[in-house]
Homo-oligomer: A and B are copies of this chain.
């Protein structure tokens, strides 16, 4: 394998990991009733609905952060990013959130499919050209790595919405 092949391979590996977390969320949603999703993941902790909305807002933020488009649901940030759970906001219905989730991920996947491996090594929009010259790891692919890890963190918590088997 040469370096160019490895470059393409790495992009594929990272994107596969990201898609994998989205799929795990899809799978979890299929197993949970709306009531289960709306419950706290553990006593006194974030609800499933909050974490689900948080996921949508974070993925939706990728359009601007990666510089590949305009966000679809900026109204979610106030509820699911800038404020903690149980802040008193009226939140979208679970059905609406599920629709947004699919919309955002479908649109992101379309954009990702148009990108070439080298595109992923360009800077993301929250790092300046000057800083990027010094810190070339602050690229789009790294955003996907950190987002994938972030999703896994909260998916571990959302797994507790399922009934304990022990």
Q: Which residues of A contact B (CB under 8 A)?
A: 1-7, 9-10, 12-14, 16-17, 20-21, 41-45, 84-86, 118, 121, 136-137, 139, 141-142, 145-146, 148-150, 152-157, 159-160, 164, 166
Contact = CB atoms under 8 A, between A and B. Distances in A.
A122 B136 CA distance: 24
The dominant DSSP class at the A interface is: helix
A118 B20 CA distance: 25
A160 B6 contact: no
Contacts of A152: 149-150, 152-153, 156
Q: How many monomers of this chain does the complex have?
A: 2
Contacts of A145: 13-14, 17, 145
A151 to B, nearest CB: 8
A154 to B, nearest CB: 6
A127 B62 CA distance: 34
Given A6-B121, A156-B154, A43 B164 contact: yes
Given A153-B153, A154-B156, A157-B160, A6 B9 contact: no
A9 B149 contact: no
A9 B137 contact: yes
